């Protein structure tokens, strides 16, 4: 992620749109790559994991649409909530994929 975009120093609606769009582009790439990988290894909890991705996707798209419509200004708080969600997801949920793999290879 580009730290400059997420420092909360956005000044207008276009900047807000760009920041959320950049976050969305990064997230979508991460989700698509990861979902393809989970399928390739037959990860047993793939449906629950995809549901978490889908829920976050809806939330980001709602924020993006509200900014585009001028209903919301992207605040540092909103951006921190989104980034925290991603960090926790990576540390907790994505980690389960690695644990599954290491369990397969250790037995």
In the complex, the residues that contact Fe ion under the rule CB under 5 A are 34, 94
For residue 11, the minimal CB distance to Fe ion (Å) is 32
Contact 74, 63 (CB under 8 A): yes
Q: How far is CA 76 from CA 45, 53, 55, 73, in A?
A: 33, 22, 21, 10
Nearer to Fe ion, 41 or 73 (CB): 41
For residue 15, the minimal CB distance to Fe ion (Å) is 28
For residue 50, the minimal CB distance to Fe ion (Å) is 8
Cα–Cα dist 31/37, whole Å: 10
The residue at minimum Cβ distance from Fe ion is 94
């Amino acid at each position: 992620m580009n730290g400059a975009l997420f420092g909360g120093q956005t000044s207008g609606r276009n900047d807000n749109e760009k920041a959320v769009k950049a976050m969305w582009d990064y997230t979508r790439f991460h989700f698509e790559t990861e979902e393809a990988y989970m399928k390739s290894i037959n990860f047993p909890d793939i449906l629950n994991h995809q549901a978490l991705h889908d829920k976050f996707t809806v939330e980001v798209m709602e924020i993006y649409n509200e900014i585009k419509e001028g209903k919301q200004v992207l605040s540092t708080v909103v951006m921190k909530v989104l980034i925290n969600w991603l960090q926790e997801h990576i540390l907790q949920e994505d980690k389960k994929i690695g644990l599954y793999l290491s369990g397969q290879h250790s037995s």
